[in-house]
Every structure is written in structure tokens, then in C-alpha cells.
Amino acid sequence: MLYEREALDTPEWWQGLDEMIERQHEQYPESVQTALIPLLHYVQNAFGYVPEKAINHIAQALGVPTAYVCGVASFYSYFSLEPKGAFTISVCLGTACFVRGAQAILDEFCRQLDVEAGGTTSDRIFTVSDSSRCLGACGQAPVVMIDDDVHAKVVAQDVADIVAEYEARARREMQAREERARADARSHVQ
Amino acid sequence: MAATETLAELKDAAKPHLEMEPERPQLLVGVATCANAAGARKTRAKLVEALEAAGLTDEVDLVQVGCVGACSREPLVEVRTPGEAPRMYVEVDEERAVEIVEQDLSGGKPIVAWLIDEGERIGEPAPHQTMARPGEINLFTRDWQNVGFFERQFRIALRNVGRIDPESIDDYLSVGGYAALAKMLDEMTSDDVIEVVTGSKLRGRGGAGFPTGMKWRFTAAEEETPKYIVCNADEGDPGAFMDRSTLEGDPHSVIEAMVIGGFAIGAERGYVYVRAEYPLAIRRLEKAIEEARERGILGENVLGTDFSFDVSLRLGAGAFVCGEETALIASMEGKRGMPRPRPPYPSQSGLWGKPTCINNVETLANIAPIILNGPEWFASIGTEESKGTKVFALAGNVNNTGLIEVPMGITLREIIFDLGAGIPGGREFKAAQTGGPSGGCLSQEYLDTPIDYDSLREAGAIMGSGGLIVMDDASCMVDIAKFFLTFTQDESCGRCTPCREGTRRMLEVLERISVGEGEERDFERLERLCNACTRASLCGLGQTAANPVISTLQHFRDEYVAHIDDRVCPAHICRALLHYEIAPDPCVGCGLCKRVCPVQCISGEPREPHVIDIDACTSCGACYEACKFDAIVRA
Ligand SMILES: Cc1cc2nc3c(=O)[nH]c(=O)nc-3n(C[C@H](O)[C@H](O)[C@H](O)COP(=O)(O)O)c2cc1C
Ligand code: FES
């Protein structure tokens, strides 16, 4: 089973992006470039990464070369140019977590999911981040963030349970989506 | 109408979630990133449920606050009942939440064993308002000054964190918030403000320690307009969370200071550049800005005067170098976050080429109390050259991890062994790391060095922004140096060669040493690389990148020697230097090691001693951790 993100790629979404560009133009008339990073955040939030289509769109709207937008997006580790899994596992590798054994936890996630750090599982459920730096919960080290959930004081033995929990969640979501699609199809027939 | 009168009206109309003198019981739940990680959201939901079950929903106020700093004891729940000293419950999971409601709130019987002070203050009357300082009211001093973990602390920047609802401007107003702003607008000129800040001798808390008053004066002296004030909330040091906690727990204190700073330098616009990794801080800042606008504190005619000022947020995107001021400006302008040579300084030519003053979050959080209490008061705290307090994020191998604010001049020993309650697991202290990737590791000999900008620099570390990581004797200092160099090498923006190449070469040497391929000449090689990187790099990142190497070489040279000459890692961390064997006598042949081994290199019949195939072994240590009979020998 291959996990796929729900398509956000609707005309309304692109219209929303254009409206945001418009607002930024008004706010910073003297420097359109200023809008770039907020726009990339907006795209990344929606898709989980920055697709090529969005890069072209933004470059055109701001009147800057595509290469420039790519250059900025690739400079910042927060933006990804590759699609990500449904859940991104970020094992904090900040100093506090490192001193408390975070590397072993990261290794364990990679081992159990059979991916390298930075990679995405073949079912596209998980991406294991390779660049997670302090999440600001150092007092609870080592910490692992998965989407917005922060798991505190994680030990290697917790890893299997954590993986199972999110896997189940992804499956439930896909199931619900399938059912919705089937219901939609039925109502079309009627 | 004067600003103070406008403010008085706002304060009168305020409906704070936390009353100064509560007439009915209050439950304070710490809701911050650290607390949420520990499960505070569940605790809070359970409290709501338990209050309902006990029929107390309408009689008890449940209020969220920021993190009071005792991170290792979270989730924290504080119970306040009229006239009594507050009670702080620690490690409140769902089960404890129910008990607290049933026994303490309903039954009137506090559960002594779960209290942070173990019940020391039960029966004492509520502490008195007269203990209030600094600012109008310092709730922290009033409530917790004499209790264990808090006793050695002195809270100025964190005065309200954990004491008020950060999502309510009314709470901030009711504890004297925006009083400094109103006082300034009514009574002071911009020169007066700069005079006061200069007189306080406040130095920047973002790392470099530059006098804040002087920075404001330079920006104020520029003719060019518009000018900008930027709050640096990029908090890049991995292992530090002072700024996060301040923004999550008391966002208005930073906004108030930005308006004051804007007035002083002649700016009408401020920006907070905040890490995208801090979603809760971002949400609370947004809320704070919105409420301040609604009350007429931000926007046109601040508090009814003819001064106008507004603040907006800009998000970072995960680049450490963007904490550096010129890179931060580039990033705000929508470019790659690369530093540029200074001069010109941002005070001359900053954001969009205009005069810009950049201050750190904690620096700003000190401003309002300084305006209210005067420069002499602030300068009376701390040491000769380093005034006031410093917030430290205490983490790593120490019992009490968390956030502390202490007067400058306190020693490492006091922080680690008094406030931090020592090293867990019966292990020994080995090193304290301050200043993050730009800082250094201090050994045992420095435990009694007073902490201030200058002593730390002399000792080979730096104050930095306030990360303080404690390491026990199970840490390998070569590994730690390698860790920091991996970080800086990765974060080097690549613009200048000394930093880009220097960090890479240093890392290569460290990697060789850690796998047992080091050679005598590596000492010299490292020293040369450190020197080049420090002297020739363009920005602070490269100029300080070698510090972790220099300080470990200086204070822990024998560990390098052990790795290079004897090919051993004394702390048993560097994997390639470890060997595992099974001692036949204690081994009972339970087979557990065989099952956990990820590379199947352990063999043996049930109930017979097992053996490890040394050639196939990857030294991962899984068997060593798993064995219940101490039969695996590590060397
Ligand atoms: C590589 C690098 C990273 C930095 N990161 C931060 C940071 O995360 N937060 C911060 O306030 N200052 C940081 N600084 C320091 C800033 O350049 C600047 O000195 C500071 O924000 C000024 O504020 P202050 O005078 O209030 O300390 C960094 C400097 C360097 C060289
Ligand atoms: S070092 Fe991991 S949360 Fe700070």
C-alpha cells in the first residue's frame, strides 16, 4: 500500500497563493523579493514540500528567475524540494539530546524502517529527517517530534511502539479516504 | 490624555485570567513546548474532566501559564487557594490530576509527596505583595523565592514566565505590563531612554555581549529614515531554549521593549525574526501583537500619544547562520541567509539598506524593568563588568534540567550542584559546555569560576546565548568536538573558504581520530586549522567554529592522546574503538544477546555460553545493553 497525500492542488488553493502574493506586494511595494520566504512557508505547509510547479508560479509572480527561487529554497533546511512521507520523524540531534543518546534512537528508527537518515520509506508513510536540531524541549531530552507531537525522554525500546502508532494512523486515514471516495462514487451514480 | 492615564483605563477594564489576590481557587497548568512534550495537554484535559466530575467547574479557575523552568518535573500544576501559600505539584500525569482535584481541591488535603517543596510551606499564609520587585510586581519573587530550585534565582527577564496567562494581554497589564512604556512616553525623551539603558550597563544576551545602550545610541544617531528594530528570536544554539520559553510564557515583555527601543532609536516599525521550529511561540506572539493592536498599544498613536509603532513577524527557515545579524537581514529580505562583511554595521545599513537595530529576545525582556526601576538598580546586580542576570538552559546529564535565571557572577558549581542537584545515575561530572557550537567545554577545574562574559572567555568558553550542557564521565570529548564540528560544517553557509574548508578539514581529522586512525601529527594539524578558521572567517560562525576543538584540546588533551596513541576511547563511546566479548562464566546461554543482535553475529546453543564473531560485529552495543547477567565484556 502506497501512502499518498490528499491532493491540495485545487484551483482555489492556487488562487489563495495569488492573493497572498498580492498582499505581500502591498505590504512591501519597494521589495517584492521580501515575500519569497513567507510564500515558501505557505507552500511547504500545504504540500509538505515545495513542488516545482509552485516554484515556477512564485518566480513568475515575483518576476525573479526560477533559479533564484530554487537557490533560496534549497539554502534553508526547512524547505524540501522532494515529496515527504505522511509523517516526518525528527529525532532531535541538538546538544542536549545528543548527550542523552539521541544518535542511538535515530539509528534505531532507521534500522526498523530500513531507510537512511533523510530517506522516505517505500510505502511513503515515514520520512526520517536527517537535520533536526533543537526543538526547544531540551529539558525532556532525548525528544522525537513526529508532525506536531513531541515524544519526551524516548528510549530505543519505545521506537517500535511509536512506529506502530503512526503506521496505524496512516492506514486509518487512507481507509477513511477510500470510503469517502466510494461514497462519492455511489452518489454520482444515483 | 497622558499615556499613563490611557494605560490606567486599560488596566481598569482588564479582566485577567489570573487574579492578583484570588477570591477562589485557581489551578495553573504549565502549557509550553517542554510541558506539552511531557504530556501537559493530557493533564489539562484530565483536570477539566475531574473538575467537572467533582462539580467544581464553576468554582475553580483553570488557567494556562508558560513554563516556570522546572522542565524535568513537568507537567507542573500549581494550586492556589485564597490566603494560602501556593502549592506546586510535579510530574502530574492523568492519574495525579484526578487525585489533586479529589484530595486537594475537594477534600482540602494537599498531597505532600508530590509537591515541589515536599509540603514545606503548607499552612503558611500567602506571600505578601511587598516582596514585589523588580517592575511593579514580581510574582515570581513573591510566590517562589524561598523554595528549593528557585532559591538561588533572580528573575528579571523571566519575571512573568509561568506566572501569567501568556495569551492574555489583561494578565500582562495587571502585573504592571506596559507601565514602563507609558512612563517613557510621558516623561522621557529618546535621549533619556538611551541614557538609562546605557547606565544600566546591560549587555546583549544574544552572544556577543555588546552594550545595548551603545547600540541604541548608534542607531539613533543615523540620519537616514525609516529605521527598524528587529528582535532576534532565531535561537540557533542547539540545546538552548531561553528565548522560546520567554516568547511562549511572556510575549508582551518583548513587544513592550520593542516599542521602547523603537522610540529610542526613532523607528516606527519592528520585526521579530523567529524560528519556524517554534510553532507555539509564533502563535502566542501573533496573539499578543493582535491584542496589543486592539488596545491601542501598537499601531497609530501608541497609548494615545503621537508616537506610532507596529510589529510584525518574519519566520526563519532552519539555518543556524541566520542568527548572525547580517545573515538575518539577508534572510528577511528574501535572500539566501549569507552574512556579509561589517562595516557597514546594521545600525548604519541594515534591513533594505536602512539603519537597523538588532536585539536578542532576552536582552529585550530586561528593558521594561530597567526603565521602571532605574539603571542603578540593574547595575547593582551582577559583577563589575557583567550586570544583571543571565538565563541559562540547563540540560544534559544533570538532575534538574530546565530554565534558570541567576545573577551574573554565580559559579558553575552552584548552578550544576545546587540548582541542578548534581549528576544523575551516580556518575561523575566531566564537563560543562557553554555557548553552543561557538563555545567551549570547561573541565572540573573551572567549577568555581564566576560566570560572566569575561571570565568565561578567559577560561576558553563563552557566555553565548545561555545554553549550558552538563556532561558526565560517560561522555567522550572527542565525540563532542566531532558533534559540534558536524553541526558547524553542515551549517556553514559556504560563502567564505576558511570556514567552509576549515570546518570540513577539522571534522575529517576528528573522524579519523574517533575511528582509531589518528596520528601524532593530528594535534598540530588541528591547531593549524583552528587558527586559520578563527582568524580568516568572514562571520562569527567560522570565527568561533573551532572553539569546541580548542577547548577540548586544552582541557581534555589526555582523551585525544588515548584515542591516538592507545586506540581506546576511555568513555566507551567511539564505536570503532570498542570490542565486545562474552565471558563464558557469567553467560547462562539465555540467548537474549543473539536475538537482539542486528547483524546476527552471536552464536551458541541454549544454556551454553555464547560467542561473538568479532569480525562481523559492528560494536553497536545492543547485546551489552540487553544482557541481564553482565556477561558481555566491553573493552
Ligand atoms: C553564527 C551566529 C549565530 C547567531 N545566532 C544568534 C541567535 O540565535 N540569537 C541571537 O539573539 N543572536 C545570535 N547571534 C548574535 C547576533 O549576530 C547579534 O549579535 C545579536 O542578535 C545581537 O543582539 P544582542 O546585542 O541583544 O545580543 C549569532 C551570531 C552568530 C555569528
Ligand atoms: S537539544 Fe533536543 S530539544 Fe533541545
- Nearest residue to B230 via CA among B252, B257, B248: B257
pLDDT at res. A5: 66
Same domain assignment for residues B368 and B394: no
Q: What is the CATH number of the domain that holds B304?
A: 3.40.50.11540
What does the pLDDT look like over B512-563, one tens digit per residue?
Answer: 999 999 999 999 999 999 999 999 999 999 999 999 999 999 999 999 999 9
User: In terms of domains, do B198 and B299 share one?
Assistant: yes
For ligand 2, say whether the CB of A70 is within 6 Å of any of its atoms.
no
- Give pLDDT, residue B409: 95
Q: How many CB atoms lie within 10 A of CB A189?
A: 6
- CB contacts of B37 in chain A (<8 Å) are 137, 140, 143, 150-152
**Which atom of ligand 1 is found nearest the CA of B327?**
17
- With beta carbons less than 8 A apart as the criterion, state whether B627 and B593 touch: yes
Q: Of the residues B119, B137, B157, which one is the last residue of a structural domain?
A: B119
Give the burial class of A186: count Cβ atoms within 10 A of its Cβ; 0-12 exposed, 13-18 middle, 19 or more buried: exposed
Provide the 8-state DSSP code for B550.
H
* Structural contact between residues B158 and B140, judged by C-beta atoms closer than 8 angstroms: yes
> When comparing pLDDT for A150 and B484, which is higher?
B484
Q: Which of B338, B353, B375 is the last residue of a domain?
A: B375
* pLDDT computed for residue B134 by the predictor: 47
The Cα–Cα gap between A166 and A102 comes to: 20
Instruction: Tell which one of B200, B324, B462, B489 to mutate to probe ligand 1, the residue whose CB is within 8 A of the most ligand atoms.
Output: B324
Task: Say how far apart CA A91 and CA B88 lie, in whole Å.
Answer: 31
**Has residue B59 been placed in a domain?**
yes
Locate the ligand 2 atom nearest the alpha carbon of residue B393 and give its number. 4
pLDDT recorded at residue B131: 42
In whole angstroms, give the CA distance from residue A180 to residue A169: 17
Does residue B81 lie within any of the structural domains? Answer: yes
pLDDT category at A190 given cuts 50, 70, 90 is low
For residues B336 and B423, state if they share a domain.
Answer: no
Q: B428: Cβ–Cβ under 8 A, 6 or more apart, which residues?
A: B472, B473
- B557 is a domain residue: yes
Instruction: Determine the residue among A28, A36, A75, A131 to mutate to test chain B binding: the one whose Cβ has the most chain B Cβ atoms within 10 Å.
Output: A75
- Indicate the class that CATH gives domain A11-75: mainly alpha
> Bridge-partner residues for B441, per DSSP?
B433
**Does residue B413 share a domain with residue B297?**
no
Cβ–Cβ < 8 Å for B16, B166? no
For residue B63, tell me if it sits in a domain: yes
pLDDT of residue B136: 54
B210 lines ligand 1 (CB under 6 A): yes
Bridge-partner residues for B429, per DSSP?
Answer: B472
Q: Do B359 and B402 lie in a common domain?
A: no
Residue B613's φ and ψ, nearest 5 degrees, are -80, 100
Q: Mind listing the pLDDT tens digit for each residue in B573-614?
A: 998 999 899 999 999 999 999 998 888 999 999 999 999 998
Residue nearest atom 1 in ligand 2 by C-alpha distance: A94
Find the closest chain A residue to B248 by CA distance: A136
CA angle in degrees (0–180, nearest 5) for B570-B574-B578: 75
C-alpha closest to that of B295 among A175, B287, B130: B287
Query: Where does a domain end: B472, B487, B515?
Result: B472
- How much is the pLDDT for B128? 66
Closest ligand, as measured to the CA of B241: 2
Residues 35-54 of B with CB under 8 A from A: 36-39
**CB nearest to A41's CB, from B238, B245, B276:** B276
Can you give the pLDDT at residue B179?
94
Closest chain B residue to A130 measured between Cα atoms?
Answer: B490
Helix (H) or strand (E) holding B179: helix B179-187
Contact with chain B for residue A96, Cβ under 8 A = yes
Burial A24-60 (b: 16+ CB within 10 A, else e): beeeeeeebbbbbbbbbbbbbebbbbbbeebbebbbe
How many CB atoms are closer than 10 A to CB B424?
Answer: 15
> Do β-strands B356-360 and B228-233 pair in parallel, antiparallel, or remain unpaired?
parallel
Angstroms from A99 CA to nearest CA on chain B? 6
Distance between CA atoms of B417 and B444, rounded to whole angstroms? Answer: 12
Query: Is the C-beta atom of A97 inside 6 A of ligand 2?
Result: yes
Residues of A in contact with B465 (CB under 8 A): none
Q: Could B318 and A131 be called an inter-chain contact, meaning their C-beta atoms sit closer than 8 Å? A: yes
- Phi/psi at B7 (nearest 5 deg)? -65, -40
For residue B239, list chain A residues with Cβ-Cβ distance below 8 A.
Answer: 94-97, 134, 138
In a shared domain, residues B211 and B317:
yes
Nearest CA distance, B378 vs chain A (angstrom):
28
Dist. CA B318 → ligand 1 center (Å):
15
Asked whether residue B108 falls in the same domain as residue B241, the answer is no
Q: What is the pLDDT of residue A188?
A: 73
Mark whether B228 and B359 lie in a shared domain. Answer: yes
Check CB contact under 8 Å for B315 and A150: no
Q: Where are the domains of chain A?
A: 11-75, 87-184
Dist. CA B152–CA B149, nearest whole Å:
7
pTM, two decimals, is: 0.93
Determine whether domain A87-184 maps to CATH 3.40.30.10.
yes
Are residues B409 and B462 part of one domain?
Answer: yes
CB A78 to CB B316 under 8 A? yes
Q: Say whether both B487 and B368 belong to one domain.
A: no
In chain B, which stretches have pLDDT less than 50? 130-135
Is the beta carbon of A154 within 6 A of some atom in ligand 2? no
CA B245 to ligand 2 center in whole angstroms: 13
CATH number at residue B609: 3.30.70.20
B3 located within any domain? no
Instruction: State which residues form the domain around B449.
Output: 389-472
Min Cα–Cα distance to chain B from A163, Å: 17
Amino acid sitting at position B461:
A
Is there a contact between B498 and B533 (Cβ–Cβ < 8 Å)? yes
**Any ligand 2 atom below 6 A from CB of A92:** yes
**Judged by CB atoms within 8 Å, which residues 88-147 of B form the interface with A?**
none
Give me ligand 1 centre to Cα B193, in Å: 23
Whether B317 and A79 have beta carbons less than 8 Å apart is answered as: yes
Distance CA A155, CA B626 (A): 13
Provide the grid cell at B621.
Answer: 552495543
Angstrom distance (rounded) from CA B239 to CA B437:
10
Cα-to-centroid distance, B325 and ligand 1 (Å): 6
For an interface test with B, the pick among A26, A140, A159 (most B C-beta atoms closer than 10 Å) comes out as: A140
Tally of domains within chain B:
5
Q: Flag if A98 and B483 touch (Cβ within 8 Å).
A: yes
CB contact under 8 A, A75 and B319: yes
Rounded to whole angstroms, the Cα distance separating B510 from B526 reads: 9
Q: Is B156 domain-assigned?
A: no
Using an 8 Å CB-CB cutoff, list chain B residues near A71.
336
CA-proximal residue: ligand 1, atom 6 (nearest)? B323
Q: What is the CATH number of the domain that holds B495?
A: 1.20.1440.230
- Give the pLDDT band of residue A131 (cuts 50, 70, 90): confident
Q: Over chain A, what is the mean pLDDT?
A: 88
Q: Could you give phi then psi for residue B382, rounded to 5 degrees?
A: 100, -155
Contact at CB, B332 and A34, closer than 8 angstroms: yes
Which residue of chain A has the CA closest to B33? Answer: A137
Reduced 3-state DSSP string for B420-466: CCCCHHHCCEEEEEECHHHCEEEEHHHCCCECCHHHHHHCCCCCCCC
DSSP B241-302: -HHHHHHHH-HHHHHHHHHHHHHHHT-SEEEEEE-TT-HHHHHHHHHHHHHHHHTTSSBSSG
Q: Are B332 and B397 part of one and the same domain?
A: no
Residue B150 covered by a domain: no
A145 lines ligand 2 (CB under 6 A): no
Give yes or no for residue B310 CB within 6 A of ligand 1.
Answer: no
**Do the domain assignments include residue B60?**
yes
Residue B227 in contact with residue B267, Cβ under 8 Å?
yes
* Alpha-carbon distances, residue A112 vs A76, A128, A164, B493 (angstroms): 28, 11, 11, 33
Are both B352 and B285 inside the same structural domain? yes
In chain A, residues 2-61 whose CB comes closer than 8 Å to chain B = 30-31, 33-38, 40-41
pLDDT given for residue B132 in this prediction = 45
